[in-house]
């Protein structure tokens, strides 16, 4: 992840100085400009998060959300045609196919 972003530079635009995802502003249609994301001087404002997902703590490897300790109770889909067949789930109904899930133990 870099520390630059596309921003609208038109002062009359409602999206002025806001990060954009395209080469043109979604509000006014004018070209956006690459700008450097800077930290505000101390005491002048809050520092907004730049990551959309939480980062793992240093030295604590990244653990996937679907992993459970061996032997712990979970649920799984038993529909062989389902894309979530035998995958760990928490819901009583499978989100992929709509069939009821059954209680299972993580291996």
Residue-wise pLDDT for 20-49, tens only, equals: 888 899 899 999 888 876 666 667 666 555
Q: What does the pLDDT look like over 75-89, one tens digit per residue?
A: 888 888 888 888 888
Strands across the sheet with 73-76, in order? Answer: 88-89, 73-76, 102-105
Checking if the pLDDT of 64 tops 50, the result is yes
pTM of the model: 0.37
Query: What whole-number distance in Å separates Cα of residue 102 and Cα of residue 83?
Result: 16
Checking if the pLDDT of 8 tops 60, the result is yes
87 contacts 67 by C-beta, under 8 angstroms: no
In whole angstroms, what separates CA 36 from the centre of its chain? 22
Q: Fill in the DSSP letter of residue 12.
A: T
Query: What whole-number distance in Å separates Cα of residue 16 and Cα of residue 7?
Result: 7
């Amino acid at each position: 992840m870099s520390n630059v972003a596309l921003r609208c530079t038109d002062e009359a635009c409602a999206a002025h100085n806001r990060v954009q995802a395209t080469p043109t502003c979604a509000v006014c249609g004018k070209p956006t400009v690459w700008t450097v994301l800077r930290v505000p001087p101390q005491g002048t404002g809050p520092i907004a998060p730049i990551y959309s997902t939480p980062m793992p703590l240093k030295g604590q490897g990244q653990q996937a959300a679907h992993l459970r300790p061996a032997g712990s109770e979970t649920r799984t889909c038993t529909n062989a045609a389902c894309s979530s067949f035998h995958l760990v789930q928490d819901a009583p109904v499978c989100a992929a196919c709509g069939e009821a899930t059954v209680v299972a133990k993580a291996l």
